[in-house]
């Protein structure tokens, strides 16, 4: 009896904990534990309930979808016409095979369809995107309302905000439309756009979004929809709810094709395959390539393609028996903060870094993770001794994303924000969310500036990577940035170092000689001026033509350049007027460094000056980035969202809601052939 009481107690504890984590994830967008740990709790609860069904919890999270909606005055709560079910999440090959076998057994035993049970299923296959689910109700081709997933039965009505998402259509051809359809899909921010947003927020001194999903979740709950288009959110179809019409469709693949014909975006990775081996192969391939793909994903989804089989397989209380989600190996894990250190970057920014108890994430042992800046450190309240969730995504530095407050030591205290630089001990200055060391002779800055100046996108000096620069510093051969251009005078000292020989010395000298006459945009980027990335460097180079002309410019002249605002202008002038930087630039001249001048490209003289282009849909003969570069080289600006300021919209295949908005505003619209004819006639 005591043992059963303990089991009942554990079941209630797990149920309460899972409900709390559901609320944190779905309502707040701030999970406290890694997905793998959440899944482990769900598995433990499911196993206990299966063994002791009489002890099932009163509010069973195993049969719930999402989390109960919190009351909100901002958004009305509306019932879904058809519940938005979750999928059974599986994490191993054995579980995936068992799912397939159970489905076949169900057909053979419960349905009595032995013929179908012997045939391998035809599966539709697509990514499991890590975004925010939404449901769009259309009647006779017109959008009636858009809802969040909510708790699966009820969602929040956010129609206006969803209309700011690329791919959400306000209407479509009524001739092609069914009488009624709930189009369902995922709202996402592409990986590249999220990185741009993070850089923009940091440049403005704002705290960056924690991740792309968090950015979407927060943006869709804004009280005002103005400005949402600029975030670059996109909607990708993954299913339907209620449907009246299209009775001729026999499979999910046919449905996806029909929905794409209306103008919605289907995942470019959507495909289908026969049998469970095809499911496993697709999953393995996407997991291997996940960091190369444009959207964040945490697994794959497989659905029995045939609608007749779907109907016969049916559903459980929470999930359909004909679909499964295959989860990728976790990129998050729990560790402990052993210490919080300080790292000084090449521009002087001081970044807090968590030193962690070693933990393996995606096959890599992680011992350090970034905390970004001191405002974010304070917001997340990370302390020494805390148990934390750490996330690693591809080659990105691991990040502490949340703290397990319930496990915090009683004697912990907040981290003290430093007042002086940990490297040179000069006073720090605060700018927005960041602390800066303004001493340009700070050793940490010098090493970082050399590595940046020598990087492939700047002067491209291969022999001056981080390890070699550290070695040169330790040997006393480099003390300032300009010292690198005098290294040829230290042949004997270089040859005495490890990993240096006559050939490597000659390669360095040859690369230094080439780097003494760099292209002006590369040189400006390589200087490491705060907020001056590659695009701004090129804008400055094209506006002034020579480094000498740029050095004579004041803030007013700089602000007149497209893409250069007051913050950038101030930083450029401050860098060029600094006494220590003037000495540094004089030493570069002494070493023979002469950036090549280029033809001044006055905006008024360029054929597409004052025009603004937006690209939507896929182009066949070039990427959208290449298309942007071509119009920008002709004087045009580019934008991500449609507004009255836009002059031309280039619409490729599967163009979405941007095309509809462009038509309503009466903007010029070009297809790919028209666009190519335009630019080829001007270049």
Residues acting as catalytic residues:
128
Q: How far apart are CA 20 and CA 15, in angstroms?
A: 9
CA 485 to chain centroid: 38
Q: How far apart are CA 109 and CA 400, in angstroms?
A: 49
Asked whether the beta carbons of 440 and 431 are under 8 A apart, the reply is: no
Angle ∠(31,35,40) on CA atoms, nearest 5 = 120
Name residue, tokens 């390669």: 507
Q: Is 585 left (phi over 0), alpha (psi -120 to 50) or beta?
A: alpha
What's the full length of the chain, in residues?
683
Asked whether the beta carbons of 388 and 337 are under 8 A apart, the reply is: yes
Name residue, tokens 């001044």: 600
Asked whether the beta carbons of 54 and 211 are under 8 A apart, the reply is: no
**Strand-pair category, 180-188 with 88-90:** unpaired
The two structure tokens encoding residue 390:
């750490």
Name residue, tokens 């490729």: 652
Q: What is the dihedral of CA 623, 629, 632, 634, to 10 degrees?
A: -100
Neighbours of 466 (CB within 10 A): 12
Q: How far apart are CA 609 and CA 586, in angstroms?
A: 36
Query: Which of 469, 424, 422 lies closest to 442 in space, CA to CA?
Result: 424
Name residue, tokens 């070693």: 358
Q: How far apart are CA 407 and CA 68, in angstroms?
A: 26
Which helix (H) or strand (E) element contains residue 180?
A: strand 180-188
Neighbours of 97 (CB within 10 A): 15
Q: Which residues contact 678 (CB under 8 A, 6 or more apart)?
A: 670
Name residue, tokens 């958004």: 75
Sign of CA dihedral 247, 253, 256, 260: negative
Sign of CA dihedral 439, 441, 442, 447: positive
> Cα-flanking dihedrals φ and ψ of residue 237, to 5°?
-70, 140
* DSSP designation for 629: H
Query: Which of 187, 176, 216, 192 lies closest to 657 in space, CA to CA?
Result: 187
* DSSP designation for 561: S
């Amino acid at each position: 009896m005591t043992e059963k009481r303990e089991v009942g107690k554990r079941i209630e504890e797990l149920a309460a904990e899972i409900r709390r984590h559901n609320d944190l994830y779905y309502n707040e967008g701030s999970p406290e534990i890694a997905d793998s740990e959440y899944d482990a709790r769900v598995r433990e609860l499911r196993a206990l309930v299966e063994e002791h069904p009489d002890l099932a919890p009163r509010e069973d999270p195993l049969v719930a979808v999402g989390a109960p909606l919190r009351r909100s005055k901002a958004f009305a709560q509306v019932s879904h016409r058809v519940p938005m079910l979750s999928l059974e999440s599986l994490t191993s090959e054995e579980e995936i095979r068992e799912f397939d076998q159970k489905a076949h057994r169900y057909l053979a035993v419960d349905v009595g369809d032995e013929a179908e049970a012997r045939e391998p299923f035809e599966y539709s296959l697509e990514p499991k995107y890590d975004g925010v689910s939404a449901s769009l109700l259309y009647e006779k081709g017109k959008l009636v309302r858009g809802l969040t997933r909510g708790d699966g039965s009820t969602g929040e009505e956010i129609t206006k905000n969803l209309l700011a998402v690329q791919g959400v259509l306000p209407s479509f051809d009524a001739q092609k439309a069914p009488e009624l359809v709930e189009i369902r899909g995922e709202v996402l921010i592409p990986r590249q756009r999220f990185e741009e947003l993070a850089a923009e927020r940091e440049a403005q001194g704002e705290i960056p979004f924690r991740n792309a999903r968090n950015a979407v979740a927060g943006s869709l709950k804004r009280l005002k929809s103005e400005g949402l288009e600029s975030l670059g959110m996109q909607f990708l179809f993954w299913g339907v709810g209620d449907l009246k019409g299209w009775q001729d469709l026999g499979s999910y693949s046919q449905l996806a094709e029909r929905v794409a014909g209306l103008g919605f975006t289907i995942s470019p990775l959507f495909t289908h395959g026969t049998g469970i081996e095809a499911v496993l192969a697709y999953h393995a391939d996407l997991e291997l390539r996940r960091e190369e793909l444009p959207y964040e994903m945490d697994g794959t989804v497989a659905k029995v393609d045939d609608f007749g089989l779907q109907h016969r397989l049916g559903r459980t209380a929470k999930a359909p028996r004909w679909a499964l989600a295959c989860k990728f190996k976790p990129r998050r894990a729990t560790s402990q903060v052993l210490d919080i250190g300080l790292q000084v970057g090449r521009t002087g920014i001081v970044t807090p870094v968590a030193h962690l108890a070693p933990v393996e994430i995606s096959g890599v042992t992680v011992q350090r993770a970034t905390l970004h800046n001191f405002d974010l450190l304070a917001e997340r309240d990370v302390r020494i001794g805390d148990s934390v969730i750490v996330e690693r995504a591809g080659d990105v530095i691991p990040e502490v994303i949340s703290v397990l407050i319930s496990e915090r030591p009683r004697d912990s205290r907040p981290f003290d924000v430093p007042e002086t630089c940990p490297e040179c001990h000069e006073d720090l200055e605060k700018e927005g969310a960041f602390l800066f060391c303004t001493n340009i002779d700070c050793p940490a800055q010098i090493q970082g500036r050399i590595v940046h100046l020598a990087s492939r996108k700047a002067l491209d000096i291969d022999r001056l990577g981080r390890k070699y620069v550290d070695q040169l510093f330790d040997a006393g051969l480099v003390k300032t940035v300009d010292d690198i251009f005098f290294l040829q005078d230290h042949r004997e000292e270089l040859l005495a170092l490890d990993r240096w020989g006559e050939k490597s010395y000659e390669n360095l000298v040859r690369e230094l000689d080439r780097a003494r006459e760099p292209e002006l945009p590369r040189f400006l980027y390589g200087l490491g001026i705060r907020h001056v990335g590659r695009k701004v460097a090129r804008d400055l180079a094209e506006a002034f033509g020579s480094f000498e002309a740029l050095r004579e410019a004041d803030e007013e002249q700089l602000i007149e350049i497209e893409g250069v605002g007051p913050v950038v202008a101030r930083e450029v002038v401050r860098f060029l007027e600094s006494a220590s930087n003037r000495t540094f630039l004089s030493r570069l001249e002494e070493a023979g460094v002469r950036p090549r001048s280029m033809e001044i490209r006055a905006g008024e003289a360029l054929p597409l000056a004052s025009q603004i282009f937006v690209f939507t849909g896929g182009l066949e003969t070039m990427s959208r980035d290449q298309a942007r570069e071509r119009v920008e080289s002709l004087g045009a600006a580019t934008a991500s969202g449609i507004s009255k300021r836009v002059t031309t919209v280039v619409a490729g295949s599967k163009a979405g809601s941007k095309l509809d908005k462009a038509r309503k505003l009466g903007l010029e619209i070009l297809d790919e052939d028209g666009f190519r004819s335009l630019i080829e006639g001007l270049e």
